[in-house]
Structure 1
Amino acid sequence: MKVGQWSWVFNNVKTHLDFKTVMGISRYLTTFRAATLKAITASPIDELFRRISPLGNPSISIVPILDQWVAEGKPVDKKHHLQLCIKLLRQYKRYSRRSRYFPLAASDVAVRLDLIGKTHGLKDAENYFNSVPKQLKGLEVYSSLLHCYGCFRSVEKAEAVMQRMRDLGLDRCIVASNSLLTLYYKTGNYKKLDTFRHEMEEKGIAYNAHTYCICLSAYAAQCNVDGINNILQKAESDRGRTLPWNFYTVATYAYIKVGHMDKALAMLKKFEALSKGNSGAYNQLLRQYATLGKKEDVLRVWELYKTNMKVYNKGYLAMISSLLKFDDIESAEKIFDEWESHVPATLRYDIRIPNLLLGAYSRKGLLEKFERIVNQIILKEGKPNARTWYFFAKILLMNNEMGKAVNAMKEAILISQPWWKPCDESLAACLKYLKEEGEIDEAEKLINLLVDKDIISSEVQVKLLSYVKDGNVDSTLDGLVILDGSALHQGGEEADDDGID
């Protein structure tokens, strides 16, 4: 298949599968999800969960299914059955799938408040909170509201909730405290973070492992080595507390961030000692050894991983991306072929895995290899996401198929999620081409789309519109230097961050 044919093929497949409405990124079990799933499948409630989980439309009520379950004479226990199902559905981000089969307790209100915030937004969450009876507005509900404000990075409103919790004597909760610390970390309010930490210590609120992780991440973001050392010492000297493996993965990233690779490796060895039998831990080990340039350790951990447990999609993602850090495309291809041999028999198709190779091929201009993976995606009925279209645009640019490249770039932007952004160089090439061809209207549409998707600011929009309308192609904006690293939030080839959620 020639490069000029790909747009036609992808568009046919896209129309057939309605890619614009399918954001098919598979999510596989974390340790927490696995524990919840084990609890469900180990009990008679397994059948009820299997009846609830396939419902595809979030607007469909599960109450009729529960009615039928009861009509069949089968038990429904709120605490051990429904809440367990709801917990797992939340882990799969099936937020709309909730039931009012039983009267709501405070814990149910807290969960529902969280779900409303994630499915309908902050305003609806606030309206729901205001409608909750006063007798149910206790620690759990206020903590959930504080978490909602944290998710939307609303510092003032989160602080107001914490003050209300102080007034009610509910401010000694470590979960709520961690929510506020996380908000301060993610918004760069490091002075407020330190002040609130001191308040916690004065009140005798004991840190947990997540508290230490937040602090490590905050000090790493500030390149504060002394702060990292102090938190590590405090955590490891905390009597009666066993630190989990994910504490050491955060500590490893912290030392990598500040350039202390020897200390990072020491943390990684502690991490590995706690990781046996945990897929999430193995995934992090692969990535971190790769980041530290330890290829032999990457290969060693991969063999341990396959020996000790079944490897799911996230494991193949971690291994292939780790090998590509060493520019070892040949080995990455072998792992890809191994993964593909399990699809669809034991693993679901996950577009992120072929995307890793497409990215590598597009960077090196390996056209024939790119074509092979594209054909395999089509044969497997994979669902291209924004990165797939972006890499498609990039290889088209390299082959001077400019018109098709612009169309592929538009498709990438249209279906992109907020955490994905195209790289500035590729965008610049597309806009420059449209200007050279005199397609000013199309250039304006592309620029406006970038604003609509929050990829560029309105200030950058004005400058780019001025360029495509009035600027000379060979002017100082040649190559669109305005699209430097500060104009875009994240490049299209960058992986997701491994920070604190």
Structure 2
Amino acid sequence: MFSILQRSNSNPNSLIRKGVSFISTYYLGKNPKNDLFPRLSSIRDPNTNVGQVLDQWVEEGKRVKEPEVQRIVRELRSRKLFSHALQIAELACKVLEWTKIKGLFPFSSGDCAVQLNLIGVVHGLNAAETYFDNLSDEEKDDKTYGALLSCYVREGLIDKSISHWEKMKDIGCVSSPLPYNNIMCLYAQSGQLEKVPDVLSEMKKDGIHPNNFSYKICMNSYGERSDTNSMEKMVKELESRPHISIDWTIYSSLANCYIKAGLKEKALIALRKLEKKLDKDALGYNHLISLYGHLGNKDEVLRLWGVHKAVCKKQLNRDYITILGTLVKLGELDEAETVLKGWELSCHTYDFRVPNVLLIGYCQYGLIEKAEAMLQKIIKTGKIPIPNSWALIALAYSDTGNMEKAIGCMKEALALNTQNSGWKPKPRLLSSLLNWLSEKGEVEEVEAFVSSLKMVIPVNREMYHALLKASIRVGMEVSEILESMKSDQIDEDEDTLKILSYKN
């Protein structure tokens, strides 16, 4: 019943352990005496019927309460577990399905709306529409109609979304800003930014009070069009309405628009207002630091980093990536080195995305040897880098024409790929390396390099062309290469024929 692993390419045993442990720990409670934690966390077989586990829990006289299920589903929907998001959504869907079948408590239209949305995510739009069509008249209200609208918007179906939205208004199923917000998001995502303010105006005309998100969408649409005048008017409108809570994101959008327009003084005023709204919001400090970085204000960047550390207590890797990226942008590499040392002393898990920011900075400023030396030093401490750490240095060497070093660094990256299956090297880098190898490298070296590449990306014409060039250059027979190329369903093109024409 809980087949959450069918759509995943990840190791199923690993995924089910992560998913079940995540749910058990955070959403079913943390006291092993009173919740499902021991039962669910003991599951190791991905084919286990989790529904039977829940059935047994109830048969033992233990309860699954409505607020508990609602909390589980709400949290599952709000947490995006990277590549596991689809499996988690399916699991949430199955929790609701099990609850509805068992009839443990009344299934409201709100529950139906949540399940409809999840069905759309997991099983697709047709399944969501079928679910909606099978609902009773009592269950078809503003919540379920709104959930179906969300499915249409998520798929980017403009005509269908507008038609459904108009029907909702005609039958009186619009009682909140949510449908209007969905339509504004749809227009924004489809590039029709000029239509977003019109929807906000229509919302007000229809007697629906916009919420914070409504204004944020509209603000962003003005920002994307660099319409500072309209942004200013909207902020003044918000500031004059005490029932609307203005958070830091409004002033962040305004400041960003001013910066793009070159209005530095106005941007500084907006940034000061932004800071007053932060309290202990770490993400807000990240935005503020980055915006001051765009203004080139090193002193404010360092001041705010100090405030961030004092106010927020704990800094995440995300926070260090922001401050390091800002300092690199400003050319303050010495300051960045100091921040990185602080991170290395405090971090519990070594995330190579953090030092990569400084590695990129070194490469951007022409300090490629320093970047490589830094990476080698980290490796000597026992840390295993991600392939991209070597690849970014390889790209820098390639851009400066030092192809031997570029090849060496790329080989290091490829050797690490077994531990980082999601990594893909930049096409521009690969083209440069393959072209150089085909002209300068030994045939065996080209073969080994292409063989390593096949572990990372699908074999392509460019790889075969490199093999053909290298082989023809030294007078080797290429019939086997052409046969292999044919078996991989890669047809000969004009470039292939040109390469073959060089053959004596």
Flag whether TM exceeds 0.5 (same fold): yes
Aligned to 1:488: none
More displaced 10-residue stretch of structure 1: 326-335 or 349-358: 349-358
Task: Write the deviation string for residues 154-208 of structure 1: whole angstroms up to 9, x where unpaired.
Answer: 2222212212212321234201211111221222213432332332121122222
RMSD, aligned CA: 4.2
Aligned to 2:396: 395
Task: Write the deviation string for residues 201-246 of structure 1: whole angstroms up to 9, x where unpaired.
Answer: 2112222221111111111211222221221222222242221222
Higher relative contact order (CA 8 A, sep 6+): 1
The alignment status of 1:77 with 2:94, answered yes or no, reads: no
Task: Give, in whole Å, the separation in 2 of the partners of 1:56 and 1:380.
Answer: 31
- The verdict on how the C-alpha distance between 1:389 and 1:116 changes in structure 2, with shifts beyond 3 A counting, is farther
Aligned to 2:233: 230
Aligned partner (choices 73, 77, 86) of residue 73 of structure 2: 86
Task: Give, in whole Å, the separation in 2 of the partners of 1:274 and 1:281.
Answer: 9
Contact 1:351 1:384 in 2 (8 A): yes
Larger Rg, first or second structure (1 or 2)? 2
Contact 1:251 1:267 in 2 (8 A): yes
Aligned to 2:332: 328
Task: Give, in whole Å, the separation in 2 of the partners of 1:117 and 1:45.
Answer: 36
Q: 1:136-285 counterparts in 2 under 5 A? A: 136-285=139-288
- The verdict on how the C-alpha distance between 1:106 and 1:446 changes in structure 2, with shifts beyond 3 A counting, is farther
Task: Give, in whole Å, the separation in 1 of the partners of 2:33 and 2:273.
Answer: 38
Aligned to 2:309: 306
Aligned partner (choices 87, 108, 131) of residue 111 of structure 2: 108
TM-score, L = length of structure 2: 0.68
- The alignment covers a number of residue pairs equal to 414
Task: Give, in whole Å, the separation in 2 of the partners of 1:122 and 1:374.
Answer: 50
Contact 1:178 1:210 in 2 (8 A): yes
- Per-residue deviation, 1:121: 4.5
Task: Give, in whole Å, the separation in 1 of the partners of 2:298 and 2:34.
Answer: 42
TM-score, L = length of structure 1: 0.68
Contact 1:146 1:158 in 2 (8 A): yes
- Per-residue deviation, 1:270: 0.9
Task: Write the deviation string for residues 419-454 of structure 1: whole angstroms up to 9, x where unpaired.
Answer: xx95x8646635754786799x9763579xxxxxxx
Contact 2:223 2:231 in 1 (8 A): yes
Task: Give, in whole Å, the separation in 1 of the partners of 2:46 and 2:114.
Answer: 17
- Partner amino acid, structure 1, of 2:375: I
Aligned partner (choices 70, 91, 94) of residue 97 of structure 1: 91
Aligned to 2:323: 319
- The verdict on how the C-alpha distance between 1:77 and 1:315 changes in structure 2, with shifts beyond 3 A counting, is same
Contact 1:224 1:258 in 2 (8 A): no
Aligned to 2:351: 350
- Per-residue deviation, 1:258: 2.8
> Which blocks of at least 5 consecutive residues in structure 1 are unaligned?
1-19, 23-36, 448-464, 473-501
Task: Give, in whole Å, the separation in 2 of the partners of 1:164 and 1:56.
Answer: 47
Aligned to 1:444: 461
The alignment status of 1:291 with 2:294, answered yes or no, reads: yes
Contact 2:177 2:210 in 1 (8 A): yes
Task: Give, in whole Å, the separation in 1 of the partners of 2:303 and 2:267.
Answer: 18
- 2:432 counterpart SS class: helix
Contact 1:40 1:46 in 2 (8 A): no
Aligned to 1:369: 371
Q: What's the % identity of the aligned pairs?
A: 27
- Per-residue deviation, 1:357: 2.1
- 1:95 counterpart SS class: helix
- Partner amino acid, structure 2, of 1:178: N
- Per-residue deviation, 1:136: 2.4
Task: Write the deviation string for residues 234-265 of structure 1: whole angstroms up to 9, x where unpaired.
Answer: 22222422212222222222322333222222
Task: Give, in whole Å, the separation in 1 of the partners of 2:243 and 2:252.
Answer: 21
- 2:138 counterpart SS class: helix
Task: Give, in whole Å, the separation in 2 of the partners of 1:286 and 1:51.
Answer: 45
Contact 1:113 1:129 in 2 (8 A): yes
Contact 2:368 2:397 in 1 (8 A): no
- 1:153 counterpart SS class: coil
- Per-residue deviation, 1:138: 2.2
> Which blocks of at least 5 consecutive residues in structure 2 are unaligned?
1-8, 12-24, 81-87, 101-106, 451-458, 465-491, 500-504
- The verdict on how the C-alpha distance between 1:75 and 1:159 changes in structure 2, with shifts beyond 3 A counting, is same
Contact 1:323 1:332 in 2 (8 A): yes
